[in-house]
Structure 1
Amino acid sequence: MVLTDQQKSFLELAFGVTLNDPAPSVPAEVTAQKSELSGLITRLKRDDPEAAAAANARLADLAALLERGDTDAALEEMDALELDLAASLPPSNVAFQKLRLRWQEAKKTAAKDLDKLQSDILAEYDDPEAAGSAKRLDEVLAAFNAGLSDALDDIMNAEQGSRRSALCAEAGGIVSRYLDFVFGSPLVAHVETNPFRAIDISAILAQPLQLIEIELAKHGA
C-alpha cells in the first residue's frame, strides 16, 4: 500500500515516528541483467583488472537511476555496458553458446508478445479485414528465419582457420540483415506504436543480435 502525503503526515503525528518512502521494487529483468553483467565483469577481471574496476563503477552508478524508479534508463545503461564489456573480452565458444540460447529466448519472447497482440486485435475487431491485419504480424518473426542459430552451431563446431572465418562472415551477414530489419522495418515500427499493448520488438531482439555481432567479429578476425 502506498500512503498519500496526508496519510503519511497523520501517522507521523499520531505515533511520533518518521515514515520513509519504500524503496522502489526492482523488476526481475533488471536483476537478471545485473547478474549477467557481474559475470562478464568477473571474466574481464582476469585479463584487465583496471577495466573491470571501471565497469563495476559504472554498474554501481546505476543504483541512482533505480532509486529514482527510472527502470528504462537503467536498462538502457546496462545494455550499453554489456556491449562494452563484450567487446573487451576475448573470444569464447561458451559465450557463443550462451548467445545462441539468448537469441532463441528473445525470439520466443517476441513471438509471445506478437501472439497476444494478435489476440487483442481479433478480440476488438472480429472481421476478415482485422484477421488479415493480425496475420501480417507473422511477417515480423518470419524475417528472422535465415538460420542464425544453425550458423552459430557451425562456427562452434569448426576448427580455427579460413573455414571458421568464412562461417563467421556468413553469420555476420545474417546478423546485419536482422539488425537492419529490427531498426529499419516499417512493420516493426508499426507494431511498436500499436494502440493495444506495449511491445518493444527492437529492445527484445537488438541486444542479443548486437552481442552476437561483437562475438563474430572476434572469432572471425
Structure 2
Amino acid sequence: MKRNSLVQLTPGWWKEQEPKGLASGKDFAKALAEYEIAQSALRKTGSDSALDASQKTLKNIEATAAKVLAEATRLAKTPPKDAKKPTHDVEEQAWTVDAFKKIGKVLDEARAQALALHRPAAGSKDDEEPDDGNALGSPDAFKLYLKASLTRLRKTPMNMALAIGKAPQDSRALLHKSSAGRALASRLAKETGIKKVAFGTAMASEDDATAIVFTLEGPKISGLKKRGELMLKAFKPLPFTRFIVMVEGQEDLSEDDDQEGAADETEEQSPSIPKAPPLPEGDNDKTARFTKRLKDLLPAITQAVQADVAGSDDARQKAADAAALLRKGNADAALELLDQAEKRLKAALAARAAGKAAPQAQQPSPQGGQAEGGFSLVNLQKSRLAWLAARKAVQEQLRKLEDTIVAELKGDPDLPDLPRDIRKLDQVLRTLDARLIDRLDDALNAKTPQERQRIHQEASGLMDGYRDYVNNDALVADLETNPFTPVAIRATVLRTLDALQKTLGSPHA
C-alpha cells in the first residue's frame, strides 16, 4: 500500500493496493465484493431488503478491516526472517496501518450514502427518516445526519427546525416529514440549550440545485439566511450551499445588523451586498472579466445602499442575481445583468446628485400592472418560487390527511369505496394547478415590457380564480373541518396569494 493512502470500498482499489503477506487480505477482498453487489442493488431498487443487505456488508467490512489492521500492525513490527526472500514489506505494512486506522470515517460516510439511496415502500411508517437519535451530539454525527436528511429533501418537502449556535459548527437542525416544525423546534431548544430556534417547512429549490428554500412559520431570527448558509459551509452537505428564507410568500432579503456567530466575515459591507465570486482555476475570459467588474462595482453599491440612495437596492439585487448566474456557469447572462446593475446605480447616483429621487425600476400602475418600460424580473422569480412552495405545502397536508384516513378506515365494511373516494382529494391540486408557474415563466421570457404586462394580467386573473376556489369550494371547506388531522389549505393559499399580488402590484395587495 502506498504512503498516505485512504481506504476505498471497492475491490479494484484493494486489488491494486493490497500489501504482500496479509493472510486476512482475502477476507477483506471478499467483503468488498459483497458490498459492491449490495450497493448496486440498493441503487437500482432502494428497497428495505437492499438497504439491510448493504448495512450487513458494511458490518462485515468493519470486522474484516479490524483483522487487517491487527495483522498489519504485527507485521509492521516484524521484519522478514529471510532478507533474500521477504514475505512482506515492513514500511508498506506501516502505511496500511495508518490507512485502516481511518476506516471508521469511510464506513460512516458509506452508511449515510446507503440511507440516502433508500426509497421506502409507500405507507411504511417513518422508514424514510434518517435516525436522529444521536444527531444533536457531536459535529461528526450531526454532519452525517444532515447529509442524509438533505438528500431526502431533494425528493420531498419536510418540516424543519434550525437552532443557531454562537459558531456555525454549533448550529443544529432537525428535519422530518410528519413531525411538526414547532415540535422539532421545542426538541432542539431542549436538547441543545440554544435559544435562537426557527421552524417552518423546507424544500429543495427547483431552480437552483444548491439552494434550500425555508418557509418560515414562527418568529424571525436575526440573520437567519446568513447563519443558515454558515452552517451549510461548516458541515458541507453538498450540493447545498445556499439558504433561501421565505416570509409570507416572499424571499426575505433583509439581514439584521446582529452579526453574532459570523466571525469569519471581515469585509465591511451589508450582508445583502453580493460578494464577488471566487474565480475558478482555468475559467474563461468572460468569467474573469465579470469577477473584476463586480469587485470594482461593489464598493459603490455598498456605499449607495448604506446611504439609502433611491434605486440603489435595485442595483444591488441585479448584481446579486448576476453573481448567482455566474455560479451557475451562465457568464453571458451574468455580464448582461451586471451591465443593468451598473446602469441602475449610475442613474440612482445621478438623480441623487441632481437633488431628486431616481425613478423606480418597478412602479405599480392603477390597473395592477407595471409602469411602462419596467417590470421586475426578480419579483417574477420570487413569485414563481412562492407559488411552487405553496403547492408543495398543500400537497404535504393532503398526503398526511390521506395517510391518516387510510390508516383508520382501511378495511371498514361500511366504506367499500374508500380507495376511490380518497382520490377526490386530488381535485384540490388539480385546481390549484401549475398554470400560474407557467404564466410567470412566460413573463420571464417575454420579449417586450408590453407583452410581459399582458401576461402578468393573465397571471393576476389566475390568482383571483385560486382565491375564489379556496374561499367557496365545498370540498375545501370539508377538508378544513375534517375530524382526522388538521389542515390549513385556505390559509396557506390565501397567505401566499396576498404576498404574490402585493409583490406583483395586483389589485388585492
Common topology (TM > 0.5): yes
- Partner Cα separation in structure 1 for residue 309 and residue 471 of structure 2: 35
Report what 1:128 is aligned to.
416
1:160-197: per-residue Cα shift (whole Å, max 9, x none)? Answer: 43322211111111111011112221211111111111
- Partner Cα separation in structure 2 for residue 146 and residue 107 of structure 1: 8
Q: Quickly say closer, same or farther: Cα 1:116–1:96, change in 2 above 3 A.
A: same
> Equivalent of 1:171, from 430, 443, 459?
459
Asked whether 1:39 is paired with 2:246, we answer no
Question: Could you say which structure has the larger radius of gyration?
Answer: 2
- Unaligned 5+ segments in structure 2 are 1-194, 201-215, 221-244, 257-271, 273-304, 312-363, 365-373
- Partner Cα separation in structure 2 for residue 148 and residue 132 of structure 1: 29
**RMSD, matched Cα:** 3.4
Q: Quickly say closer, same or farther: Cα 1:91–1:123, change in 2 above 3 A.
A: same
TM-superposed CA distance for 1:24, in Å, is 10
Report what 1:102 is aligned to.
386
Q: Quickly say closer, same or farther: Cα 1:211–1:24, change in 2 above 3 A.
A: closer
- Partner Cα separation in structure 1 for residue 379 and residue 470 of structure 2: 23
- Partner Cα separation in structure 2 for residue 157 and residue 136 of structure 1: 35
TM-superposed CA distance for 1:25, in Å, is 6.4
Asked whether 1:189 is paired with 2:471, we answer no
TM-superposed CA distance for 1:217, in Å, is 3.5
Say whether the 8 Å CA contact 1:146–1:174 is kept in structure 2.
no
> Equivalent of 1:200, from 478, 488, 497?
488
Q: Quickly say closer, same or farther: Cα 1:25–1:146, change in 2 above 3 A.
A: closer
Report what 1:74 is aligned to.
none
Report what 1:64 is aligned to.
none
Q: Quickly say closer, same or farther: Cα 1:104–1:176, change in 2 above 3 A.
A: same
Report what 2:397 is aligned to.
113
The one-letter amino acid paired with 1:166 is R
Q: Mean Cα displacement is larger for which, 29-38 or 159-168?
A: 29-38
Q: Quickly say closer, same or farther: Cα 1:129–1:47, change in 2 above 3 A.
A: farther
- Partner Cα separation in structure 1 for residue 441 and residue 399 of structure 2: 28
- Partner Cα separation in structure 2 for residue 120 and residue 132 of structure 1: 16
- Partner Cα separation in structure 1 for residue 461 and residue 452 of structure 2: 14
Say whether the 8 Å CA contact 1:121–1:130 is kept in structure 2.
no
Q: Secondary structure at the match of 1:128?
A: coil
Report what 2:426 is aligned to.
138
- Partner Cα separation in structure 1 for residue 493 and residue 255 of structure 2: 20
- Partner Cα separation in structure 1 for residue 255 and residue 387 of structure 2: 18
Higher relative contact order (CA 8 A, sep 6+): 1
Report what 1:81 is aligned to.
none
- Unaligned 5+ segments in structure 1 are 1-22, 49-86
Asked whether 1:149 is paired with 2:437, we answer yes
1:61-114: per-residue Cα shift (whole Å, max 9, x none)? Answer: xxxxxxxxxxxxxxxxxxxxxxxxxx8xx9521121122112112111211110
Q: How many residues align?
A: 157
For normalisation by structure 1, the TM-score amounts to 0.59
For normalisation by structure 2, the TM-score amounts to 0.28
Greater percentage in helix = 1
The one-letter amino acid paired with 2:408 is E
Q: Quickly say closer, same or farther: Cα 1:184–1:46, change in 2 above 3 A.
A: farther
Q: Quickly say closer, same or farther: Cα 1:121–1:97, change in 2 above 3 A.
A: same
- Partner Cα separation in structure 2 for residue 210 and residue 47 of structure 1: 26
